[in-house]
Structure 1
């Protein structure tokens, strides 16, 4: 427990400093997290020694992080080219790298690359990127904490027992309520940026989608028979364990046009 607390404080402090600084500091941190997260994904699937997949996958994650420039067509072309390179790898390796290998690696690349891309995109929102990024992170973390404590106190109805036996419907609802309260607090602080009605919608979306992101990672680890995606954060597991909600929430909010454009 002591190790978990110390790691949480140190990692949290470093993260908030980089988030506050923004620019290349924050983007560099997110890029590092994305590369470590993709390494965890490859290792979970036994693909971490496949050089064809590693070269294309890591390059693809970095390309997805930075090369979109807000152009949907360009991003579509980029994803297609990366898919082609993965498929070409099956031919060039004479099927030592199989279609199953590249399909899994491609899925992980998009999951990690696009998810972390939108974290950078959110921080880059003109003038108010820090406001929106903090709003999202605090709502995610409040949802997690609210669901845990509400579920511990009042939880009776299993939410999804085959995936995560300890989660309850009552906990999920408690986390959602607290997420909305946090979003309303941000609306109160900066009403010119966030209306109360929009705050309620944002808080609900973050809570629901964030908890789904957590369940997705839980389901995946259960299939693989592992507890944590990695061990880079003592007492907290790996990068994917800590960012499972982030990777789903940030893209979702942008795709629903609930955030301003960068």
Structure 2
């Protein structure tokens, strides 16, 4: 427990410091986390890290996790990255004479977009006008939901939410997490009413809690399928990058796709 607390405090403080600074430092951190997350995904699927199709996946994750590149670099669109990655993966099945199977290509394509787009939306949120406000809103709603679900579940949790995938989650905990996330969002609306109304804030809190829980369950289901407890070992006591960011990867795209954050 002590190691878990120390890791959480140190890693959390470092992440928040770069979030506050923003700019290239924060974008670089997110790109690095995305690459580490994809590495964990590759290992979970028992794919060799140095194979050319896997390297193409890393390149796609890097390009997608950076919504903008330095001036003059001509950042490719998501559609362009998708098509180039698809071509590289399918070509790999041909030139390897099917030693790289279609199933391998499909898993890499899915993982690149699951991880790359999730981090892309985090970086894009910070680059919005008042991006620090919107980023903190999303993160604190997610973290508030996690904390509320944990403590309420420990105190009064009785009914299992989805025991086949995550036996420790309870319905009561999920409701508690939802309430905390909405409360956090309403505090942001109270602090900056000119940016955020109460109704929109409540919707953001609900979305963060519901889709954050879904993101957690997605990763739990995948790890259970692969027979592992954690996606990695980078963060002692906390597992890997995907273990810590599974909710983020889903919530940030959802908030943008539902137009709950400014464009």
Do both share a fold (TM > 0.5)? Answer: yes
**1:217, 1:135 → 2: CA distance?**
23
1:26 matched residue in structure 2: 26
Q: CA deviation at 1:67?
A: 5.3
1:68, 1:75 within 8 Å by CA — same for their partners in 2? no
Determine which of 85, 89, 112 is the counterpart of 1:86.
Answer: 89
CA RMSD, Structure 1 to Structure 2 (Å): 1.3
1:122 matched residue in structure 2: 125
Q: CA deviation at 1:68?
A: 7.0
**2:66, 2:152 → 1: CA distance?**
39
63 and 34 in structure 1: CA distance in 2 versus 1, 3 angstrom threshold: same
1:236 is aligned to 2:211? no
1:39, 1:48 within 8 Å by CA — same for their partners in 2? no
1:101 matched residue in structure 2: 104
Q: CA deviation at 1:75?
A: 2.1
For residues 33-182 of structure 1, what are the structure 2 equivalents within 5 Å?
Answer: 33-66=33-66, 74-126=77-129, 128-182=130-184
Gaps of 5+ in 1: none
Q: CA deviation at 1:76?
A: 2.2
Q: CA deviation at 1:50?
A: 5.0
Task: Please give the TM-score of this superposition, normalised by the length of structure 1.
Answer: 0.95
1:227 matched residue in structure 2: 229
Q: CA deviation at 1:2?
A: 1.1
**1:51, 1:173 → 2: CA distance?**
45
2:211, 2:250 within 8 Å by CA — same for their partners in 1? yes
**1:153, 1:66 → 2: CA distance?**
41
1:211 matched residue in structure 2: 213
49 and 16 in structure 1: CA distance in 2 versus 1, 3 angstrom threshold: closer
**2:168, 2:188 → 1: CA distance?**
31
Gaps of 5+ in 2: 70-75
Runs of 4+ in 1 over 4 A off after TM superposition: none
**1:49, 1:63 → 2: CA distance?**
18
**1:65, 1:8 → 2: CA distance?**
24
Q: CA deviation at 1:49?
A: 3.7
1:256 matched residue in structure 2: 258
**1:142, 1:129 → 2: CA distance?**
19
**1:95, 1:50 → 2: CA distance?**
17
SS at structure 1 position matched to 2:167: strand
**2:65, 2:53 → 1: CA distance?**
18
Task: Please give the TM-score of this superposition, normalised by the length of structure 2.
Answer: 0.95
